[in-house]
Amino acid sequence: MIYLKLFLTFMKIGAVSFGGGYCMISLIREETLAAGWLTESELMNFIAVAESTPGPVAVNMATFIGSSQGGFLGALTATLGVVLPSFAIILVIAALINNVLKYAGVRATLNAIRPAVAGLVISTAAILFSSAVFGFESLGDGFSFDPKALILLVVISAVCLTSYLLRKKSLSPVLIVIFSGFAGALFYYPF
Amino acid sequence: MLKIGLFAFGGGYAMISFFENEFVAKRKWLSADEFSDMVALAESTPGPLAINSATYIGYKTGGVSGSVLCTVAVCIPSFTVIYLISLFFNAFLNIGWVAAAFKGIRTGVIFLILSAGVKMFIKLPKTVFNIVIFAATVACMIAFSVLSVNFSSVFYILISGAVGLTVYLIKRLKDRKKDKSDDIS
């Protein structure tokens, strides 16, 4: 039952995705790779699309992966799954506990999750970097150095940093996606 | 709600100012205080910020049915857009230069994830506790990945939450003991 599996997987993702957006990237990556739903490069394509279209990244990812695995119904079940936990939690809090954040114990628990999430996101980026540039992810993989990916990453970082220094504002993700798309077309197409 | 779902590019934080404009200034569904409570709550519970806020605002203005309605409405635009894209995506990728562009975009995505992580880290209060949890998570995650050990991200979140609660309880216990000994003396 692909629909049930999509629903349950995305419910799990929805239930622990503290902080929104990228916080669930590491979990989405693990779950979809383990289920054999996506390859790593498909996943990255989906992230780019989810990030450059309107709406929360988590919902977009769920719809996209669901649709690729089970058509319209798959998209529907996956989206429902990712939304349901947060919906239920907020509803309970709004209805029953007026000010859950005033309890110091609750705050202490939530505050401890924050650094872990930051760590998860950064190490996911590091793993993806190593996999894209060196083709190395775990022992047993060979090394295959891709200098183009490295150059591209350096160029993108340089552009973003300059824009940050000049305008005191970071570039929007959509612009970064568009820019790296152009750069990629120039870089990879003729060969 | 539908309108907000449609315009909120890039998720969460883009929506906050939309929400504030629409519900506090224009419709007066929430007071400014209620609004800031809501943002704090939506940030610290799991799930996308937009969904959490929609559920909350919906409940406060129209009970359970209001919250269902708002949550569904905020999802509809992105669901429709993504579903349509997903239908054509593979055909689109078969075009040579598009495939090349996406090769570049995948590199851009690595940068996006990295900068999101770095931003989160910068925002953290740099206490010893936070840095220990952060460093431990990064170290374990990378070590497990290199050794290809399966260890779900869920556990990092559960463990660090439990550690946070334990540290807090120990601290409180110590404070209480101190209070008692102060009383005796």
pLDDT in tens, A77-101: 999 998 898 888 888 888 776 666 6
Model pLDDT, residue A77: 92
Residue B16 in any domain: the answer is yes
Residue A177 in any domain: the answer is no
Give yes or no for residue B1 having a pLDDT over 60. no
CA of B89 vs chain A CAs: smallest distance (Å): 10
Distance CA B10, CA B25 (A): 23
Q: Where are the alpha helices (DSSP H) in chain B?
A: 2-7, 12-19, 32-44, 49-93, 96-123, 128-146, 153-184
Residue B89 in any domain: the answer is yes
CB contact under 8 A, B112 and A47: yes
Q: Are A121 and A22 in contact (CB under 8 A)?
A: yes
Distance CA B118, CA B103 (A): 23
Residue B20 in any domain: the answer is yes
Per the prediction, chain A carries an average pLDDT of 80
Q: Using pLDDT thresholds of 50, 70 and 90, give the confidence band for residue B7.
A: very low
Q: Does A138 touch chain B (CB under 8 A)?
A: yes
Distance CA A45, CA A157 (A): 19
The arithmetic mean of pLDDT across residues A31-53, rounded, is: 83
Which ipTM value was assigned to this complex? 0.78
Residue B22 in any domain: the answer is yes
Residue A16 in any domain: the answer is yes
Residue B70 in any domain: the answer is yes
The dihedrals phi and psi of B64, each to the nearest 5 degrees, come to -60, -45
Distance CA A65, CA A172 (A): 24
Count of domains for chain A? 1
Range of the structural domain that residue A93 is part of? 2-145
The arithmetic mean of pLDDT across residues B59-73, rounded, is: 81
CA of A6 vs chain B CAs: smallest distance (Å): 15
Over the Cα atoms of chain A, what is R_g?
19
Instruction: Report the amino acid identity of residue A189.
Output: Y
Residue A72 in any domain: the answer is yes
Residue B86 in any domain: the answer is yes
Residue B173 in any domain: the answer is no
The arithmetic mean of pLDDT across residues B123-147, rounded, is: 86
CB contact under 8 A, B105 and A44: yes
Count of domains for chain B? 1
Residue A22 in any domain: the answer is yes
Tokens 């003396």, residue?
B185
Encode pLDDT of A112-128 as tens digits: 888 888 888 888 888 88
CA of B171 vs chain A CAs: smallest distance (Å): 11
Model pLDDT, residue B164: 86
Encode pLDDT of A63-72 as tens digits: 888 888 888 8
Range of the structural domain that residue B49 is part of? 1-94
Residue B53 in any domain: the answer is yes
Identify the residue with better confidence: B185 or B62. B62
Contact map slice: A 78-117 vs B, CB within 8 A: 79, 82-83, 85-87, 89-91, 93-95, 99-101, 104-105, 108-117
From chain B, pick out residues whose CB is under 8 angstroms from the CB of A189: 96-97, 100-101
